[in-house]
Amino acid sequence: MITIVGCNKGGAAKTTTAINIAVGLALRGEETCLVDADFQRSASRWHAEREQAQILPLITLVEKRDNISPTLKSLDKKYTHVIVDVAGRNSRELITGSTVAHQIIAPHQCSQLDLDTLIELQQQLQSIRDLNPEIKAYCYQSMATTNPILREKERAEFLDFVKEFKELIPLNSVAHYRKVYRDVMTEGKSVLESSNENAKYEVLSLLEEVFKSC
């Protein structure tokens, strides 16, 4: 199964989400390949840290740019899960990858600047579905507030905005803003390999919601 973690906004948590999903699936014992399709190479740098620290399970990482669809199709034959991290803009990798992917997870913060980019994503999805009608597209709230006073209101605002975009399914799972997501990144780890139970729960919920039947 090919999963693109992509959207048109920089810094929305694409790489963070892709890495945590890839480790989560690998911890389940499933053959998982992480594809770094972003010229910034954040996932590759994370992977280099992981290899150097000899953290298990091993995750296979493939770097590929431009037209990534033939590579994804061939990796899909070899791995149970192919998780693709793309650049945060209207990238060729997002478009070419989406023509062969089974699903897109699009992380977005609840900020007007992030959510405004859903308009572009919706237009891209309409074109992608002409070529790949079965593709599922999920919108994932990232870096949500943990402030108990603001939490519910922010979530309601997010859902209210996303419901205007019929091409996208809002996920019940949410990633809240937690320092541990940043800290583990520099250590080549996932939050699943940390002691932060809240962050672990968030990633496990995402896996359960999107990959439960896989």
Ligand X SMILES: Nc1ncnc2c1ncn2[C@@H]1O[C@H](COP(=O)(O)OP(=O)(O)OP(=O)(O)O)[C@@H](O)[C@H]1O
Specify burial of residue 99 (Cβ count, 10 A radius: 0-12, 13-18, 19+): middle
Residue 14 contacts Mg ion per CB under 5 A: yes
- Please tell me whether residue 143 binds ligand X under the rule CB under 6 A: yes
The verdict on 70 binding ligand X (CB under 6 A) reads no
**Stretch binding ligand X (CB under 6 A), from 12-20, 24-32, 115-123, 133-141:** 12-20
Out of 136, 153, 163, 182, the residue judged to bind ligand X by CB under 6 A: 182
The burial of 85, by beta-carbon neighbours within 10 Å (0-12 exposed, 13-18 middle, 19 or more buried), is given as buried
Does residue 15 belong to the site contacting ligand X (CB under 6 A)? yes
Q: Which two tokens stand for residue 167?
A: 């091409």
Q: Does 177 bind ligand X (CB under 6 A)?
A: yes
Looking up tokens 């989406």 gives: 98
Is 11 a binder of ligand X (CB under 6 A)?
Answer: yes
Task: Give the neighbor-by-neighbor strand order of the sheet with 2-5.
Answer: 60-63, 32-37, 81-86, 2-5, 103-108, 136-144, 169-176
Interface residues with Mg ion (CB under 5 A) are 14-15, 42
Interface residues with ligand X (CB under 6 A) are 10-16, 38, 40, 42, 88, 142-143, 175, 177-178, 181-182, 185
